[in-house]
Amino acid sequence: TLKALASPKVKGLADFLVIGENFALKGRAAGRASLEYIDKALELIRRGEARALVTAPVNKASIRKAILPDFQGHTEYLAEKTGAKKFAMMFVAKDLKITLVTRHVALRDVPERLSEAGILSVIELTDMALKKLFRIRNPRIGVAGLNRHAGENRMLAHYGLTVMRKAR
């Protein structure tokens, strides 16, 4: 976090506030502290004292041991705390944004977690985010399939879906 904030490209983007302490980087205190930092950030947003939240990775094992045995990840934690019904994890780079249909699941378990409705929900959420948050008027969305035949004739295959939407 500190390295990113030291970058001239990042530094000028906003007035950043870092919530955290060095002691929390190690040991069992990290789990409890991580969630307290997220909760504090959400409180600042609710009070109008902050407009956005950027999170760093959290130690899931430490959180599970210290406080929440069923903790999946901070994406799900944030959704629960904010009451979000539709949510996803998106990785953002300059020319590519990737939204995950599944999160925090072993690769072997992914096929059983996929459904057509779930995939379409993430596509719709991604489309909305690209338009509203990134101001992309006509987003092109591609969906990667899990099997090598997922894209044949743009049909839903047993474990995958490939969609490429043309710009409108």
Average pLDDT, stretch 137-152?
Answer: 75
d(CA 60, CA 74): 9
| Helix, strand, coil in percent for the chain, rounding step 5 | 45, 5, 50
Average pLDDT, stretch 123-143?
Answer: 93
- Is a pLDDT exceeding 80 seen at residue 24? no
pTM of the model: 0.77
- Is a pLDDT exceeding 70 seen at residue 128? yes
d(CA 28, CA 108): 29
Q: With cut-offs at 50, 70 and 90, classify the pLDDT of residue 134.
A: very high
45 closest CA partner among 19, 71, 21: 19
User: Are the C-beta atoms of 143 and 116 separated by less than 8 Å?
Assistant: no
Cβ within 8 Å of residue 63, ≥6 positions away: 30, 31, 32, 34, 35, 71
User: Position 100: which residue type?
Assistant: L
Average pLDDT, stretch 81-95?
Answer: 91
pLDDT of residue 62: 86
167 closest CA partner among 127, 118, 120: 127
DSSP reduced 3-state for 98: strand
pLDDT of residue 155: 52
User: Residues 49-82: pLDDT tens digits?
Assistant: 999 998 888 888 888 988 899 999 889 999 999 9
